[in-house]
Amino acid sequence: MKKVLSIAMVAILALSVFVGCGKSAYKDGTYKAQYSAADEHGWTEYVEVTVKDGKVTACTADALNAAGEKKSASAEYRASMEPVNGNYPEKFYKDIATQYVEKQSAEKMAAVAGATNSSNSIKVLLVELEKSMKEGKTDTVTVTAA
């Protein structure tokens, strides 16, 4: 009987440790990060993340040109990319965003095939944004490209 009681106590203590570790580091809110300037093709990438109950529940990634048009909606960009590597902005931005919601961390994300540069670029934005998400600061984060 003492052995069963001891095992039960150890199990309860172990569970209490894991419950304490399971608390999310993110504060609820909607967060946005973007680059301070357009890239060499005229696109400025950005990401928007929604956190609810301490977890990332939604993510949107894309890029805008000077006219305010989304890269994901560019038929010209799609026509130039899709035949070469089977990927295009509408698809890869969605894949990047979905992966972030699943992984809950930029550091755990892998580059999307056929969109390595954009994957890495969005990941940089997310790493910077996570700092604000941990502090609950919802001001737009502006990142200077390296």
Residue ranges making up the domain that contains 71: 25-143
| Residue at 15 is within a domain | no
| Residue at 41 is within a domain | yes
97 in Cβ contact with 126 (< 8 Å): no
| pLDDT 10s digits, 23-41 | 568 999 999 999 999 999 9
pTM: 0.82
**Domains held by the chain: number:** 1
| Residue at 11 is within a domain | no
DSSP helix, strand, coil percent of the chain (3-state; round to 5): 50, 20, 30
46: CATH? 3.90.1010.20
| Residue at 112 is within a domain | yes
| Residue at 10 is within a domain | no
| Residue at 1 is within a domain | no
| Residue at 133 is within a domain | yes
| pLDDT 10s digits, 56-79 | 999 999 999 999 999 999 999 999
Residues across the chain: 146
